[in-house]
A and B are shown apart, each in its own frame.
Chain A
């Protein structure tokens, strides 16, 4: 490793920050820079829809690392600049400012963007997406004068936003095209719990309802749901999923398929280019398949692997995915991925505010939704990794300790 080499990271994300720290820890002596199209130093994204939107924490508290940390690491930033092309042959990046940047090694931490909703009125004032700090500043500005909001999409982002706006005193209606909330990602029991939770907090939830147009002259006045059904609203938030930012990689000739394709070492199809985080489609040996994740733990752990690869160290990435969601006073922790489940087992009273839904296939636990059950979450992770058939009656029996199912330490 020579100190004349340059490592460049595209994207100012969780993955990017971990990657540059891990580069130094692995002995990278060359220069390191991060190019981000956002004007801010990298920040924590999960609190955006939760504590930051609700006003519980400040912009300063969102910073992933203090600016002094980057000085110690000797990492430089180019903020508010977009990379428009990667020239892999000449190892050069073209920026929208006209500037070019040379790289010896390149890391793509480009993340994902909010999926746009193509209906009339989606470009009106007070129509927002929620992905960046500036998005949330816009939402807060609208919320300051809004009495009512419509949220299009009953997934985790939509529901967290509903909880935060309710806390700010805005009357919220959530529109979901499917027959239940969280349909794509959770069991019926989990969906029913969140429906009840939000209704108890005064949120109106309209299932089987598709927004057909956002109404208004310059700013929002309401949302039309077809057949003359109109919901009045002063603001709209669209949360219908994300699209991985892969265009730059694709245009550079890298392999892309629902994410930038990487191997277990986070290497792309180009020897000196790695990728990490939400933008990647990666193999996971624990799950026995490839997948794309929207997840902070995935971003940071995969970034450690990517940094190791750039330093010539093999550190295969294979972690159990996990997620969390905070809504009102309810903390949900999700261990594993439930895809392919055939049965569920419920531990605790599903009408209460504390229970766990285990997702099973062939008496093996694939995943668990732990609602205000931190202990179950910690044990569920171990039980999933154990990957053995278990006595599933224990799961639903609160008098039986989950710990007894763990056979290995």
Chain B
């Protein structure tokens, strides 16, 4: 099970195991990581699981699909590697991945 390192905006770090095939969003929820709200539960409709993938793993995370990219365009605090965590499924290539969370999901 790959280790994913989530870092909240205030610097709090969580190093947790997330099974392959599970989304970065679900991995955060299962470990009570506050920075992910996930109002819609992972259906790519609410934009409250925004995260920034550390550039070292951005290839492993892949790129956003059209609807995800459109939602992200409307978020104020995005970066080049921003994704919706519900749309990123964990793979073995993500071992050690660093995922930063924004200060607010709204």
Residues of A within 8 A of B (CB): 14, 21, 24-25, 44, 46-47, 64-66, 68-69, 72-73, 296-297, 300-301, 322, 324, 326, 331, 333, 372, 374-375, 377-379
B73 at interface, CB cutoff 8 A: yes
Stretch of B40-48, B52-60, B97-105 contacting A (4+ beta carbons < 8 Å): B40-48
> What is the total of A-B residue contacts with beta carbons within 8 Å?
60
With A374-B70, A374-B71, A378-B74 as known contacts, state yes or no: A65 contacts B47, CB within 8 Å: no
Chain B residues 55 to 95 lying within 8 A of chain A, measured CB to CB, are 67, 70-71, 73-75
B31 at interface, CB cutoff 8 A: yes
User: Are A326's CB and B30's CB within 8 A?
Assistant: no
User: Are A296's CB and B31's CB within 8 A?
Assistant: no
B41, B47, B74: the one within 8 Å of A64 (CB): B41
Told that A333-B45, A375-B73 touch, could you supply 4 new A-B pairs with CB distance under 8 A? A64-B29, A72-B32, A326-B43, A374-B45
User: Are B39's CB and A65's CB within 8 A?
Assistant: no
Residues of B within 8 A of A (CB): 26, 29-32, 34, 39-47, 67, 70-71, 73-75
A44, A68, A378: the one within 8 Å of B41 (CB): A44
C-alpha gap A379/B75 in the complex (Å): 10
User: Are A73's CB and B32's CB within 8 A?
Assistant: yes
C-alpha gap A298/B74 in the complex (Å): 22
C-alpha gap A322/B48 in the complex (Å): 13
Contacts of A66 in B (CB 8 A): 26, 30
B102 to chain A, nearest CB (A): 15
User: Are B74's CB and A297's CB within 8 A?
Assistant: no
A44, A73, A374, A377: the one within 8 Å of B42 (CB): A44
B60 to chain A, nearest CB (A): 21
With A296-B39, A297-B40, A374-B70 as known contacts, state yes or no: A69 contacts B31, CB within 8 Å: yes
Chain A residue nearest to B106 (CB atoms) is: A381
A398 to chain B, nearest CB (A): 15
C-alpha gap A84/B72 in the complex (Å): 47
A302 to chain B, nearest CB (A): 12
27 contacts between A and B (CB under 8 A): A24-B32, A44-B41, A65-B29, A65-B30, A66-B30, A68-B30, A69-B29, A69-B30, A69-B31, A69-B32, A73-B32, A296-B39, A296-B40, A296-B41, A297-B46, A324-B40, A324-B45, A326-B43, A331-B67, A333-B45, A372-B67, A374-B67, A374-B71, A374-B74, A375-B70, A375-B71, A375-B73
C-alpha gap A47/B43 in the complex (Å): 8
With A65-B30, A69-B30, A374-B70 as known contacts, state yes or no: A46 contacts B40, CB within 8 Å: yes
C-alpha gap A300/B45 in the complex (Å): 16
User: Are A46's CB and B73's CB within 8 A?
Assistant: no
A257 to chain B, nearest CB (A): 28
Contacts of B43 in A (CB 8 A): 46-47, 324, 326
Contacts of A324 in B (CB 8 A): 40, 43, 45-46
Contacts of A301 in B (CB 8 A): 39
A331, A374, A379 pick with most chain B CB within 10 angstroms:
A374
